[in-house]
């Protein structure tokens, strides 16, 4: 199978492109993460969001630990061919590793960042570390 469409993307010097995940029903921006060629091709093939984790240096299937999978509904490329926009169904209604609905929960108030969105679920109950 050929992936010529991947060649039309302007990847940064690290071979990455920013990807924004947006709720397909509400339009709310859920999160931003990075994708490389493999993660984007797999996202399309599997119809679920798969990102490149810069901190772990590996593919990251959204929801692989938490169960909060992002099912792909639509994918678009911006006019400069350097940003991906995906509309997704966020399973479990939690996109952020902090247990919130989305990652943009801090609001600038009087020169300070203030958390203005509630934690829907304690992250300790979402992410289980295997200590064995």
Looking at the DSSP bridge assignments, the partners of residue 58 are 53
Within a domain: 77: yes
Within a domain: 1: no
Within a domain: 7: no
Within a domain: 37: yes
Within a domain: 126: no
Q: Range of 28's domain?
A: 14-121
User: Which CATH number goes with the domain that contains 105?
Assistant: 3.10.20.810
Within a domain: 46: yes
CB-based contacts of 15, cutoff 8 Å, min separation 6: 36, 37
Within a domain: 38: yes
Within a domain: 116: yes
pTM (2 d.p.): 0.86
CB-based contacts of 125, cutoff 8 Å, min separation 6: none
Q: Tens of pLDDT along the chain (132 residues)?
A: 567 999 999 999 999 999 999 999 999 999 999 999 999 999 999 999 999 999 999 999 998 888 889 999 999 999 999 999 999 999 988 898 888 999 999 999 999 999 999 999 888 887 665 433
- Specify the number of domains making up the chain: 1
């Amino acid at each position: 199978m050929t992936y010529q469409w991947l060649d039309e993307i302007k990847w940064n010097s690290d071979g990455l492109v920013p990807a924004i995940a947006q709720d397909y029903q509400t339009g709310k921006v859920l999160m931003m993460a990075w994708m490389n060629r493999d993660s984007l091709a797999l996202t399309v093939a599997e119809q679920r969001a798969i990102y490149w984790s810069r901190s772990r240096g590996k593919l990251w299937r959204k929801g692989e630990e938490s169960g909060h999978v992002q099912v792909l509904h639509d994918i678009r490329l911006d006019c400069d061919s350097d940003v991906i926009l995906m509309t997704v169904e966020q399973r479990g209604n939690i996109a952020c590793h902090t247990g919130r609905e989305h990652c943009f929960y801090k609001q600038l108030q009087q020169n300070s960042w203030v958390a203005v969105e509630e934690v829907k679920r304690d992250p300790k109950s979402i992410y289980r570390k295997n200590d064995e």
